[in-house]
Homo-oligomer: A and B are copies of this chain.
Amino acid sequence: MTELNGAQSLIRTLVDSGVEVCFANPGTSEMHFVAALDAVPAMRGVLGLFEGVVTGAADGYARIAGKPAATLLHLGPGLGNGLANLHNARRAHSPIVNVIGDHATYHKQYDAPLESDISAVAGSLNGWLHRCERTADVGADAARAVAAAQDAPGRIATLILPADVSWGEGGETAEPVEPNGPRPVAAATVQEIADIVAGGETVALLIGGAACREAGLRATSRIAQATGARALVETFPARLERGAGLPAVERLGYLAELATRQLDGAAHVILAGAKSPVSFFAYPGKASVLVPGRAQVHVLADDADDVVQALEDLAELVAAKTEPVLQAAARPDLPSGPLTLQSWVEVIGALLPERAIIADEANTSGLLLPAATAGAPRHDVLTLTGGSIGFGMPVATGAAVAAPDRPVINLQSDGSAMYTISALWTQARENLNVTTVVLNNRAYAILRMELQRVGAEGHGPMANELLDLSRPDIDFVKIAEGMGVPATRATTAEELAEQFERAVAEPGPHLIDALVPSPL
């Protein structure tokens, strides 16, 4: 066997550790990594034209594949461009292995133009961070990074790879390292929670993380059914399984006013893989904490615990003979007439294909979506866990790479779309089965709402100008076609239905520019 350089040992180790895809936006300091890809065909390189596409795609991939992809980023500015979607991925607990090229070790002292403090920026992700120092260690560093990314509940692992460590000879592949799985929850803890749940007081059971998939939902439904506990899903789950044949568990509202109502009257709030609910933002004169004042908060399982097993154990204690309540199959009728906030979601609900993955960045336009799709065929919903917009198109891209046999539906607000719009090009290049529906209301509608909610007074034309996306109107059909994605425009429910049905049926990406009214 010929000697390996650092990059070759890195890629081989990644592949041996189960990492098969690298979303990449490389530069000069990553050229040896790029060159090494051809020697390891098991690693698939997917080019993004912007690092926010790369990191968002890695997030979407992780949410669906359940294992990490690698990213390839160019020094500190490349990491900066990818930071917002890494923030969302961090909140989703998505395992990701970032490979960030850096200047050669001996070159850093010269403060060349691209020199910056990569560690400071990467450190803000609160994940696992390591700078490779020696070519001989790169393989072992990579194996540890892959394991660190998958330590329960999943996190961002970042390897900073200096160019000379990458091109140096003497690389050694390393064996996979076993990640730390979820911690078991003590039987005593489960029993304590069981006593509370069965104690006759009003209980809210808030589930999150891994509990939002079938097994956790079934246990949750049994508990709620047997005890009367009010079951809720965290506001922004990384991956929520729902639809016909699965228990339907309501999500906690984004609006504090709504969430407070959902939790109203609870004497106990039980957390199962979810954080204690707080307001997304602070508002003058309103509470940050959404738990009712007199309620006690109890933790069944935190996000590093085996929340699914804990819920199943709890169900055995309080609901041994109770079956979950499953959502019946039901779809809205196809609507007609102009697109409205109600009619567009009915179209999606009526036509959502089997086994769909929804990347949901519909924001205010999607307020009515959950009800319209509740009884649609079983599907996954990926949501905006970290609140940093520009996540939908990249996450849809990565999800489609992870599940080429499933239809991916990206429900996408117009303003948010523009942060990472070049994801469309990657979708075209890779011929991914993504149908993007842009909800084009020509406004940052959520900010119009928030401007009122924060009680900001005296605003006039300039304030409105900064929340307005008309002048000029954005033509997403042209933008999509400019990146090789076939696109159409829908202004009526009939048009949306006809175009959506066709887009989903045809292989490859499509975009529908759906002109919807702004709710505000």
Instruction: Show the binding face of A for B, using Cβ within 8 Å.
Output: 24, 26-29, 31-32, 34-39, 41, 45, 47, 49-50, 52, 76-78, 80-81, 83-84, 87, 91, 103-104, 106-107, 110-114, 116-117, 120-121, 123-124, 126, 163-164, 167, 236, 275, 278-282, 284, 288-289, 385-388, 390, 415, 418-419, 421-422, 425, 428-429, 446-447, 450-451, 453-463, 465-469, 471-479, 481-484
A447-B121 in contact given A50-B418, A280-B112, A421-B422 (Cβ < 8 Å): no
User: Contact between A113 and B387 (Cβ–Cβ < 8 Å)?
Assistant: yes
Report the bound CA distance from A117 to B90 in whole Å. Answer: 13
Q: Which are the 9 A-B pairs with shortest beta-carbon distances?
A: A472-B484, A80-B83, A478-B482, A35-B456, A77-B388, A104-B282, A479-B482, A38-B460, A35-B459
Residue with the highest number of chain B CB atoms closer than 10 Å, among A27, A45, A281: A281
Total identical chains: 2
A474-B278 in contact given A113-B386, A124-B120 (Cβ < 8 Å): no
User: Contact between B113 and A280 (Cβ–Cβ < 8 Å)?
Assistant: yes
Report the bound CA distance from A474 to B483 in whole Å. Answer: 5
**Chain B residues within an 8 Å CB radius of A471:** 429
Report the bound CA distance from A41 to B453 in whole Å. Answer: 24
Nearest chain-B residue to A24 (Cβ)?
B466
User: Contact between B164 and A282 (Cβ–Cβ < 8 Å)?
Assistant: yes
User: Contact between A31 and B450 (Cβ–Cβ < 8 Å)?
Assistant: yes
A481-B475 in contact given A47-B466, A462-B45 (Cβ < 8 Å): yes
Contacts A24-B466, A50-B390, A475-B481 known; 7 new A-B pairs at CB < 8 A: A34-B466, A39-B458, A49-B415, A107-B288, A113-B387, A167-B454, A473-B484
User: Contact between B76 and A35 (Cβ–Cβ < 8 Å)?
Assistant: no
